[in-house]
Amino acid sequence: MNDRLVLLSARLLDPVTGLFLPQTALAASGGRIAALGDDREISALADSSTTVIDLKGAVVTPGLVDGHLHPVSGAELTHGLDLSGCTDVDGVREALARGVRALAPGAWLHGWGLDPNVFGDRPVETAPFDEVLDGVPALLLLFDAHSLLASRRALELAGVDGPRRFDQASAEVVCDADGRPTGLLLEDAACELVEPAAPQPTRAERRDRLAAALRAMAAAGLTGGHAMDANGDSLAFYRELDEAGELPLRLRVAPWCQPGTDADGVRELIGLQGRGGRLWRVDGVKIFMDGTIDNGTAWLEQPDRHGESTAAFWPDPEVYTRIVGELHRAGVPVATHAIGDAAVRHVLDAVEKARADGGPEVRHRVEHIETVPDDTLRRFARLGVIASMQPTHCCDFTRADHTDNWSRRLGEERAGRAWRCRDLRDSGATVVLGSDWPIAPYPPLGVMAGARHRRPTRDLSRPPHGPEQALTALEALQGMTVAAAYAAGEEHEAGRIEPGYRADLTVLGADPLATPAAELADVPVLLTVLDGRPTHRDPAL
């Protein structure tokens, strides 16, 4: 297969300095950047087997990498009704009615992206939709993917008629005062009571959905992603696509470690490290320390205004601490989902203990970090812990006036500490940016734009939430290039445009550093190159 590539008439952007390199062309061979130079010099390196593309002055950045996404589960979850555009209960009801009308008799209705803000001050439950879903088995995934609404018929078919106990401390079948399920299921353990009752897609259908999602990501400019799960067939799918030459993203995969994992389970996770192929590998472990603020399952130092979010995901948080220590000694980086201030603090405490007990230098991470006080954020740099942030969550799921569900639950003081990207970076922490797809859209230009403007994507005229926490254009670009490479321990071969570095490149129709934040998401992605081969090419080139 030809993997020699020459790009001419390019503006090569260095994400470290924010300046354009003096060269105007590059050659790639064997998946690496072989040479930089002017058009004449680089043209001379091409032969009849080389792919030569005239970029006509387009801007080339190192390949954009999403620091946190879920390709396999995302491809499975984002089918059926897209409810993310619904802003109130009536809008959801209308969307469900349309879905029901199009449904075959006896079929299940699936929806995803439901924002709890549509319920206003009312409880999040299926009651407002009982009439339209009468007799219809339906599963409606809330946007955080940590909770879903199951219709009365779905609960009946799954045999769920009351509360249950789970190893995951924050998992719950939410019930009313009489012990009857309201339809709201919190966390995976509760959701998994009902999901298997629905007809399941075939393995081939799941593989095709994943392949299509990855192709769309490449077309949006992504060359890589830090995949935060390896559940079910995930690794097998990556292997199959890679071996078939159909894997358009370079994936770093972190399998989950859940409450109840015993010593053999930890050893198995350690043994998985390094497994992979040409474009994917297992590197790290993903652990949850809490749930989400929106559904009352985060771990806060003080209860939220509903009296919830008071417990860790692990029934005994010290078991988490012990496992982090074992993984640290084995040289395995841990990426911990920690949203609430108590959760983040416990993760940092665990890392500090692991480092004090000895072992290799390991780049651990905290994922999400939605609200933390000053003394906590200052510890990231001191402990060398990477801050993995998803700024579009702040943009699209909260409001500047704090009338949204997330902010109301937290109250003014904690809501005022939302997604402290600027403060974390200024304190010396490495800040990696991502989408957490399918929680939020994956196009990387939108992620970088959100880090800069912090406004609702659907209405950029609305005020920003915490504008003092905005990143600069260069810092946002760094969050998806050099910072992502550093987080993966790949700074010696990724995140820069230099000879010897990977030929993973994103080509844009405008300079992302000079484009206003409000316009960045609309900049055309002209070419995406992975391992020296185009994975997306605009017809204009």
Task: Estimate the crossing angle of helix 341-356 against helix 317-329, to 10 degrees.
Answer: 40
* Angle (nearest 5°) at CA 178 between 119 and 127: 25
Least confident interval from 164-178, 433-447, 480-494:
164-178
pLDDT of residue 353: 98
Reported pTM: 0.92
Considering only CA atoms, give the Rg of the chain: 23
Rounded to an integer, the average pLDDT of 360-374 is 97
Q: Is the peptide bond before 539 cis (omega within 30 degrees of 0)?
A: no
pLDDT digits (tens, 9 = 90+) for 496-534: 999 999 999 999 999 999 999 999 999 999 999 999 999
3-state secondary structure 392-456: HHHHHHCCCCCCCHHHHHHCHHHHCCECCHHHHHHCCCCEEECCCECCCCCCHHHHHHHHHHCCC
> Residue 492 has which token pair?
């010696």
370, 387 in Cβ contact below 8 A?
no
Per-residue pLDDT at 144 exceeds 80: yes
Task: Estimate the crossing angle of helix 341-356 against helix 374-383, to 10 degrees.
Answer: 30
Per-residue pLDDT at 277 exceeds 60: yes
What is the phi-psi region of residue 381: left when phi exceeds 0, alpha when psi lies from -120 to 50, beta otherwise? alpha
- Dist. CA 335–CA 338, nearest whole Å: 9
Beta 5-8 vs 138-142: how paired, if at all? Answer: unpaired
Q: Please report where in the chains the tokens 């081939």 appear, as a residue.
A: 204
pLDDT digits (tens, 9 = 90+) for 83-133: 988 999 999 999 999 999 999 988 999 999 999 889 988 999 999 999 999
397, 377 in Cβ contact below 8 A?
no
Per-residue pLDDT at 48 exceeds 50: yes
In order of 155, 375, 495, the CA distances from 427 in angstroms are 48, 11, 22
Per-residue pLDDT at 1 exceeds 60: no
Task: List, in order, residues 6 or more apart from 189 with CB less than 8 Å away.
Answer: 166, 167, 168, 171
Helices of type H across 234-373:
234-243, 263-272, 317-329, 341-356
- To the nearest whole number, what is the mean pLDDT of the chain? 96
185, 174 in Cβ contact below 8 A?
yes
Nearest in space to 38 (alpha carbons), one of 4, 59, 65, 12: 12
- Dist. CA 151–CA 216, nearest whole Å: 32
Query: Which 3 state secondary structure label does DSSP give 41?
Result: helix
Least confident interval from 116-120, 216-220, 417-421, 500-504:
116-120
Residue 34: pLDDT band with limits 50, 70, 90:
very high
- Dist. CA 120–CA 405, nearest whole Å: 7
Rounded to an integer, the average pLDDT of 396-405 is 95
Per-residue pLDDT at 19 exceeds 70: yes
> Residue 298 has which token pair?
């985060």
Per-residue pLDDT at 170 exceeds 90: no
Rounded to an integer, the average pLDDT of 232-254 is 97
Counting residues of the chain whose pLDDT is more than 90, the rounded percentage is 94
Task: List, in order, residues 6 or more apart from 121 with CB less than 8 Å away.
Answer: none
323, 301 in Cβ contact below 8 A?
no
pLDDT of residue 2: 58
pLDDT of residue 272: 97
